[in-house]
Structure 1
Amino acid sequence: MTRAAVSYTPGADLALTEVELGEVRAHDVKVRFMASGLCHTDVSIATGDMSVAMPIIPGHEGAGIVEDVGSAVSGLRPGDHVAFTGVIACGRCRACERGLPNLCEWGLPTIMSGRHPDGDLRTFDPSGTGLHQWACLGTLAERAIVPERSVIPIPDDVPFDVAAIAGCGVLTGAGAVLNRSSVRPGSSAVVFGCGGVGLSAVQACRLIGATTIIAVDPVRAKRELALRLGATHAIDPTSRDAVEAVRELTDGRGADHAFECTGVATVVRQAWDAVGVDGTVVTMGIAPAGSTVELPADELWSTEKSLRSSLYGSGYPRKDIPLLLELYRQGRLPIEEMITARYALDDVNAAVSDLKSGRNARGVILMND
Structure 2
Amino acid sequence: MEEVPTPHAGPGEVRIKVAAAGVCLSDVHLIEGSLTPRRLSGDTVTLGHENAGTIDEVGEGVSGITAGQRVLLRAGEPRDGVVFTRGVDYDGGWAEYAVARADTVVPIPDSLPFEQASFIPDAVSTPWAAITTTAQTQPARAVGVWGIGGLGAHAIQLLRLVGAAPLIAVDPLPAARERALAFGADIALDPADEQFDQAVTNATRGTGLGTAFDFAGVPEVREQAIRCLGENGKLVLVGLSDQPITVTDGIRFSYLGQQILGHYGSRAEHVEQLVTLAELGRLDLSRSVSEILPLSEAPEAVRRLASKQGNPIRIILRP
Give the TM-score of the pair, scaled to structure 2.
Answer: 0.91
Aligned mates of 1:23, 1:252 — CA distance in 2: 59
* Unaligned 5+ runs, structure 2: none
> Aligned residue for 1:341?
291
Query: Structure 1 residue 299: deviation in Å?
Result: 2.6
Secondary structure in 1 matching 2:143: strand
Aligned: 1:248 with 2:202: yes
Match among 7, 31, 51 for residue 62 of structure 1? 51
Tell me the CA shift for residue 173 of structure 1. 1.0
Point out where structure 1 has 5 or more consecutive residues left out of the alignment: 1-15, 94-104, 115-132
Equivalenced residue count is: 313
For 1:226, which of 164, 170, 180 is the aligned residue?
Answer: 180
CA gap 1:26/1:242 in 2 versus in 1, 3 angstroms = farther
Corresponding position of 2:68: 79
Q: Partner of 1:301 in structure 2?
A: 254
* 1:350 aligns to 2:300 (yes or no): yes
**Which SS does the other structure have where 2:53 is aligned?**
strand
Question: Aligned to 2:57, what secondary structure does the other structure show?
Answer: strand
Q: CA deviation at 1:135?
A: 4.6
Tell me if 1:19 matches 2:19.
no
Q: Which residue of 2 aligns with 1:89?
A: 78
Q: Deviations over 1:256-283 (max 9, x none)?
A: 1111111222212222111112111111
Alignment check: 8 A CA contact 1:60 1:135 kept: no
- Structure-2 change in CA distance of 1:194 and 1:320 (3 Å): same
**Pairing of 1:86-125 with structure 2 (within 5 A):** 86-90=75-79, 105-107=81-83, 110-111=84-85
Alignment partners' CA distance in 1, 2:205 and 2:75: 40
Distance 1:168 1:88 in 2: 13
Over the aligned positions, Cα root-mean-square deviation in angstroms equals 2.0
Counterpart in the other structure of 2:15:
30
Paired with 1:239 and 1:349, the residues of 2 have a C-alpha distance of: 35
Alpha-carbon contact 1:348-1:365 (below 8 Å) kept: no
User: Which moves more between the two structures, 245-254 or 209-218?
Assistant: 245-254
Report the Cα offset of residue 329 of structure 1.
Answer: 2.6
Cα 1:294–1:232 change in 2 (3 A) is same
SS at match of 2:252: helix
1:176 aligned residue (100, 122, 130): 130
Provide closer, same or farther for how the CA distance between residues 179 and 345 of structure 1 changes in structure 2, counting only shifts above 3 A.
same
Q: CA deviation at 1:242?
A: 4.3
Q: Paired residue for 2:25, among 28, 33, 40? A: 40
Identity of aligned residues (%): 29
Distance in 2, Cα, partners of 1:82 & 1:55: 26
Relative to structure 1, is the Cα distance of residues 136 and 29 closer, same or farther in structure 2, using a 3 angstrom cutoff?
A: farther
**Residue 292 of structure 1 is aligned with which of 238, 244, 252?**
244
Q: Partner letter of residue 135 of structure 2?
A: S
Partner Cα separation in structure 2 for residue 37 and residue 332 of structure 1: 22
User: Cα deviation per residue 1:87-114 (whole Å; 9 max; x = unaligned)?
Assistant: 1225xx6xxxxxxxxxxx322xx43xx7
Distance 1:200 1:27, change over 3 A: same
Residues 163-187 of structure 1: CA deviation (Å, up to 9, x unaligned): 1111111001122111222322211
- Aligned to 1:358, the other structure's residue is in SS state coil
Deviation at 1:366, TM superposition (A): 3.5
Q: Secondary structure at the match of 1:58?
A: coil
CA distance in 1 between partners of 2:304 and 2:193 (Å): 23
SS state of the match for residue 347, structure 1? helix
The answer to whether structure 1 residue 364 and structure 2 residue 315 are counterparts is yes
Judging changes above 3 Å, is the alpha-carbon distance between structure 1 residues 244 and 292 closer, same or farther for their aligned structure 2 residues? farther
Letter in 2 for 1:183: T
Match of 2:234 among 258, 273, 280: 280
Quote how far apart the aligned CAs of 1:241 are. Answer: 6.1
Task: Give 1:89's aligned amino acid.
Answer: P
Equivalent-residue separation in structure 1 for 2:290 and 2:195 (angstroms): 27
